Amino acid sequence: MKVALVHDWLTGMRGGERCLEVLCELFSDADIYTLLHVPGSVSPTIEKHPIQTSFIQRLPLSSDYYRYYLPLFPWAIESFDLNGYDLVVSSSHCVAKGIRVPEGAYHLAYVYTPMRYIWEQYEAYFGKGQASSLVRGVMWGLRPWLQKWDKSSNSQINDCIAISRHVACRIQSYWGRDVTVVYPPVNWQSFEVSDRNDGFYLMVTSLVPYKRVDLAIRTANVLRIPLKIIGAGPEMKRLMDLAGPTVEFLSWQSDHVVKDHLRRCQALLFPGEEDFGIVPLEAMACGKPVIAFGKGGVRETVVPVNQEEHREQRQDSCVKPQEEMGNSMGSPTGVFFYEQAVDAFVEALQLFERQRCSFDPVSIRQHVEPFNRVRFKQQIYDIIKQRVKQFRLAPPC
């Protein structure tokens, strides 16, 4: 089969790009279609594929400010011509799943989330204090149209896979369709378990509003704890202005540097509501606990030491209790807090300090082992093999 891989944009190696990397291994001859590509920003495994970009690539300052072209993204993704392809696999958290697919081609969408900018994270990106009056006014007018496009573009998808049950609930709510769940891959074997503790807390993240880096900084300021932040993004200046003397910004770093910091930190801080969250699993692969906001994908990957409080604080009615890792009786791998507020974060950090002896690095690492690349690759391959066969045998409409 002639295969096309579609990804929103290629500007750095984050969780979605780690998944795309495995898809590139699975389909070594595939072409990649993306809105924008910053050469050298992603792994050699991705870079070696033929990469086709949209007109967004040619717009002024697009490599740094591509998010400002959000209203143009639907037109940009629909502008690609995929005639001649038999299989299209989109890797989407924004518009990639809206690619136009030729008749007779099968389209599988691996979805990290419906477009967060226009749904549950709208206020985080375009609320008062987050955007100018002009931008807020433009987005207020465009949001209904973008939501309508996000729903209607589902007609281009034959089958949809969500990265977590949390995201599956969101897809069911926004798009009205049921999906399969396949957890993203973590190359945990490349991480070294460590009991070293150099006394600092760590964040590895994009500096965008919904990651709530500001909450971690405010908490570090109150407790005067050392916090190192690896990452970059449009929030950089605002967050640097907010940071006290114990907070250090390291910008983006190589995988080697990230792994070294994960081995040496005392815990990973994760204050945002994530769709899944690969970084917590990478931290746990190093034997490090995760102190996280107890909502979203982490409820399926982190076992909180405060399990009784976790049971009382269940918020996602769509996800059944037995489907949450946090309700298992395994060894604890972290601490949850349930309000995105400094006081709640402070209490979680204080609980972590009191319960430090409850966390065993080897047990934490063992918890990560089921989330591996081999499993992910095999599950995706099996689904495609089965669904493509059914698609070809189905009678024409």
Same domain for 246 and 103, yes or no, is no
Same domain for 171 and 244, yes or no, is no
* pLDDT for 120: 87
Same domain for 237 and 348, yes or no, is yes
* pLDDT for 220: 98
Tallying the residues shown for the chain, one arrives at 397
* pLDDT for 124: 82
Spatial distance between the Cα atoms of 201 and 179, rounded to a whole number of angstroms:
36
* pLDDT for 344: 97
Residue among 238, 9, 271, 274 nearest 121 (CA): 274
Over residues 297-325, the pLDDT tens digits come to 999 999 999 866 655 555 555 665 445 55
* pLDDT for 322: 47
Q: Could you tell me where the beta strands, DSSP code E, fall in the chain?
A: 3-7, 31-34, 51-53, 87-92, 106-111, 159-162, 180-181, 201-204, 227-230, 247-251, 267-270, 290-293, 334-337
Same domain for 219 and 137, yes or no, is no
Same domain for 277 and 384, yes or no, is no
* pLDDT for 131: 83
* pLDDT for 326: 47
CATH number, domain with residue 323: 3.40.50.2000
* pLDDT for 308: 63
Same domain for 236 and 103, yes or no, is no
Same domain for 290 and 320, yes or no, is yes
Same domain for 154 and 249, yes or no, is no
Residue range of the domain that includes 25 = 3-185+373-393
Contact criterion met (CB below 8 Å) for 191 and 280: no
Spatial distance between the Cα atoms of 132 and 285, rounded to a whole number of angstroms:
41
Q: Any idea what the Cα angle at residue 156 is, between residues 155 and 160, rounded to 5°?
A: 90
Q: What is the pTM of this model?
A: 0.84
Helix (H, G, I), strand (E, B) or coil at 222: helix
The residues that bridge with 22 in the sheet, in sequence order, are: none
Same domain for 344 and 202, yes or no, is yes
Same domain for 250 and 361, yes or no, is yes
Q: Which residues does the chain have with pLDDT short of 50?
A: 321-322, 326-327
**Number of separate domains in the chain:** 2
Spatial distance between the Cα atoms of 54 and 40, rounded to a whole number of angstroms:
18
Same domain for 103 and 242, yes or no, is no
* pLDDT for 67: 86
* pLDDT for 378: 94
- Which are the contacts of 19, defined by CB distance < 8 A and separation ≥ 6? 91, 110, 112, 163, 184, 185, 376
Spatial distance between the Cα atoms of 116 and 56, rounded to a whole number of angstroms:
20
Same domain for 145 and 283, yes or no, is no
